[in-house]
Amino acid sequence: MLIETDKRLALQAYEQILNLILTGAAQPGAMVTERRLAETLNMSRTPIRDALLMLEGEGLLIRQGSRGLQVKQMRIEDYMDALQVRQMLEPEAARLAAGHMPAASLDELEADLKSLIGNPGNGEGKPDRGSVRDVDDRLHGGIGDAAGNPQLAQIIRTLRRQTQIFDLRSMPERFEATCHEHLDIVQALREGRGDDAAQAMRRHLEHVRDSIIGRLTRA
């Protein structure tokens, strides 16, 4: 029972620290310490330490010798490399997951995506990043889990963590297109059309890549 409690607390700490990183509250290049995080999150240092090790393993934190851990400063080259690997893996994961994701989960995803398109969330026509990230996690993560290969699911999850730093902060113009692309993926998954699910995922990731390249070209 104690081990299960420790694991649950570590996962809670992981999610909270991850949220600090993805929302920008913990800025790229910032040093993070167990003591400060324990005070911020009102938790003991043991689950914080376990959570930091998990985030280091995912590449979101980089160890800087005796100075401790630093939030990774994601270079565009790092992003493009991770996205390239995602383009190799996620279409096949979608193919394997087609027809195997729970209908209730797909129904919820479809309803949430349509709601986001109709009501972005902050009254100014701008996307609510928290809601978008939640739907994105549930779709891509659910595909990885439904593919039936835990190692593949973990690799995809790690790569996605690294690319999420360049999410809607970098590509707000992709919001509505992303929702529609996700709806195409959901429909193919629901109907068990593996080849179409793979193609929809491939097309989605290609559009993400093209948007980043276009933004760099215009800069």
Whichever domain contains 187, its CATH number is 1.20.120.530
User: pLDDT, tens digit, for every residue of 96-151?
Assistant: 999 999 999 999 999 999 999 887 655 555 566 677 888 999 999 999 999 999 99
Say whether both 131 and 198 belong to one domain: yes
Whether the CB-CB separation of 100 and 131 falls below 8 Å is answered with: no
What total number of domains does the chain contain? 2
pLDDT at 2: 46
Identify the bridge partners of residue 62 per DSSP, sorted by sequence position. Answer: 70
Q: Same domain, yes or no, for 146 and 84?
A: yes
Is the pLDDT confidence value at 218 over 80?
Answer: no
| Chain mean position to CA 161 | 5
* Domain boundaries, position 14: 2-71
Q: Are residues 58 and 80 located together in one domain of the fold?
A: no
Domain CATH for 61: 1.10.10.10
Summary mean pLDDT of the chain:
88
Same domain assignment for residues 61 and 123:
no
Residue 75 carries which DSSP code? -
* Strand runs labelled E in 4-72: 31-32, 61-63, 69-71
In terms of domains, do 164 and 196 share one? yes
Residue 75, phi then psi, degrees to nearest 5: -80, 155
Question: For residue 170, what pLDDT is reported?
Answer: 56
Considering the domain architecture, whether residues 189 and 115 belong to the same structural domain is answered as yes
pLDDT, mean of residues 155-179: 78
Q: Look at the pTM and tell me if it is higher than 0.85.
A: no
**Residue 86: exposure state from Cβ atoms within 10 A (0-12, 13-18, ≥19):** buried
Q: Are residues 126 and 168 in the same domain?
A: yes
